[in-house]
């Protein structure tokens, strides 16, 4: 069980809702994954009662995490966040302030400024960030209670490009909830993120654009659970030499005379 801001969650998989071939496939993917937190872009979905997409999410009984995808300035992100809170009736917000259109790398200065404004306004901000340690410190100082570092650029499927930086970030703030967000391309990438000690994984493209999104969503759910259990159990340390799994000291052996 994962306790996140007063909610008890069984799943540590967060799913995006864009690029699915149909609403039915999206619905089944969410259901088979067991995901309990779904990200929604205000720019793609008007939300509100009477909207088919919104009604479908309500029927699934999931927690909606609106995001400010596509925003490039502090003012734009703050305005979008305020609209999202009114429409989706939640203080949760995935904050994105894009600084580079090619890599979709967040603008660190604008991100911290927007986070500070929104935290003071009562939002529970989930900031989409790089794995930068100093940026993490600034976001925590701004009032964020969770961090969402990327594995690699959005939609790239490259997996964890800088394991050392992510592990350093995780070790620096052991009590801060952290979700790896963006760049996850396969279930093994997600399992690796969980083995590093992260609390969850947010992904979209790897499921939505697969041949069978429903099966892929389930595969990610299983890999995340496996990675989490592996981390909690204590992973074997790597060695530069072999150690036999069956001890030979004190055991008889035969040889030709």
Residues assigned a catalytic role: 94
Burial of residue 12 (number of CB atoms within 10 Å: 0-12, 13-18, 19+): buried
Give the DSSP H/E element, type plus range, for residue 126. Answer: strand 124-129
Question: C-alpha angle with apex 35: 44 to 179, nearest 5 degrees?
Answer: 80
Question: Strands 7-9, 13-16: parallel, antiparallel or unpaired by DSSP?
Answer: unpaired
Neighbours of 117 (CB within 10 A): 18
Burial of residue 14 (number of CB atoms within 10 Å: 0-12, 13-18, 19+): buried
* Closest to 190 in 3D by CA, of 153, 155, 160, 152: 160
Please report which residue ranges of 89-132 form alpha helices under DSSP H.
108-120
- Cα 114 → chain centroid: 20
Question: C-alpha angle with apex 199: 197 to 202, nearest 5 degrees?
Answer: 120
């Amino acid at each position: 069980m994962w306790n996140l801001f007063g909610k008890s969650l069984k799943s540590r998989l967060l799913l995006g809702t864009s690029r699915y071939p149909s609403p039915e496939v999206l619905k089944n993917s969410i259901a088979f994954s067991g995901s309990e937190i779904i990200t929604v872009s205000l720019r793609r979905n008007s939300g509100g009662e009477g909207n088919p997409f919104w009604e479908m999410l309500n029927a699934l009984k999931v927690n909606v995490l609106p995001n400010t995808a596509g925003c490039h300035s502090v003012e734009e992100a703050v305005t979008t966040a305020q609209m999202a809170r009114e429409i989706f009736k939640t203080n949760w917000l995935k904050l994105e302030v894009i600084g580079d259109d090619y890599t979709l790398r967040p603008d660190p200065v604008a991100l911290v400024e927007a986070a500070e404004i929104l935290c003071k306004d009562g939002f529970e901000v989930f900031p989409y960030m790089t794995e930068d340690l100093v940026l993490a410190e600034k976001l925590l100082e701004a009032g964020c209670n969770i961090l969402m570092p990327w594995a690699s650029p959005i939609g790239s499927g490259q997996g964890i490009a800088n394991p050392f930086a992510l592990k350093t970030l995780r070790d620096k703030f052991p009590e801060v909830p952290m979700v790896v967000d963006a760049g996850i391309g396969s279930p093994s990438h997600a399992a690796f993120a969980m083995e590093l000690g992260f609390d969850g994984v947010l992904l979209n493209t790897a499921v939505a654009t697969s041949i069978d999104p429903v099966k892929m969503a389930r595969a990610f759910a299983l890999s995340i659970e496996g990675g989490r259990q592996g981390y909690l159990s204590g992973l074997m340390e790597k060695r530069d030499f072999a150690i036999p799994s069956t001890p030979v000291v004190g055991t008889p052996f035969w040889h030709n005379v």
